[in-house]
Amino acid sequence: MRCSSKDSKKTRISSFLVNVTLLLVVATRFVYGDAALPPGAKFEVVSVRVLSEQETIDRSPDFIGADVAVRLRLSCSALGFYFYAWGDDVTPVGYSVKMTDQGLIWRNKMPGHTDSQTSPGIGKLNAFLPGVWRLMSGHVRPTIEWEQLDSTAFSGEKHAFTAFIRKSEHDKPIEIVSDPYVVPAGPALSR
């Protein structure tokens, strides 16, 4: 049985679409950080909660609107890796990102700056305060938990946080992305 050129063209288009879809799935997993994590490592969102009015004032007096606390956990098996932190702190540093159908958007919270489809990179973090690489392993420090702030002004958006790691002391830094979460709506305003 001979295939018509019309059927052959449909088969090529279908094959092309399947290949593009597979490529997008693999690329999305890499962009969202799954491929960068060492075996046995996890970067999870533990909880997301709206802060009370007093908690918001106490925790972010210089950042108006930061009324959501996102608890994150970075953990590893015995293999371990290094993570980037500032000074004496043991909290990984990175960026806040928004997840869209087109990919990640690095959110810029500074006035007069815009969001970007590319990471500002570790160099931008160094511009604020020089950082240090801390060892994380199943023996030294198997788990770190900390909180980051977000805002109900972005209610319904899918957000995540990034951190920078190196698999060994001399490797190039890799930016990893946490599990995503949906930003919750704020409480009804009292009048």
The vertex-93 CA angle with 86 and 48, nearest 5°, equals 135
| 153 DSSP 8-state letter | G
Q: How far is CA 170 from CA 82, 133, 165, 166, in A?
A: 10, 11, 11, 8
Residue 61: CB atoms within 10 Å: 9
pLDDT digits (tens, 9 = 90+) for 9-18: 544 544 544 3
CATH of 38-182, one of 3.30.70, 3.10.100, 2.60.40, 1.10.3470: 2.60.40
The pLDDT score that the predictor gives to residue 166 is 92
Q: Euclidean distance between the first and final Cα of the chain, in Å?
A: 76
Distance (Å, rounded) from C-alpha 7 to C-alpha 4? 5
Local confidence pLDDT in tens for the 191 residues of the chain: 555 555 555 445 445 443 433 333 334 334 444 457 888 889 999 999 999 888 888 887 666 778 999 999 999 987 789 999 998 888 999 999 999 999 999 987 655 567 888 898 898 887 777 899 999 887 777 999 999 999 999 999 999 999 999 988 889 999 999 999 999 998 755 43
pTM of the model: 0.75
Three-state SS sequence of 30-52: HHCCCCCCCCCCEEEEEEEEECC
Q: Each residue of 8-17: b (16+ CB within 10 Å) or e?
A: eeeeeeeeee
Distance (Å, rounded) from C-alpha 48 to C-alpha 52? 13
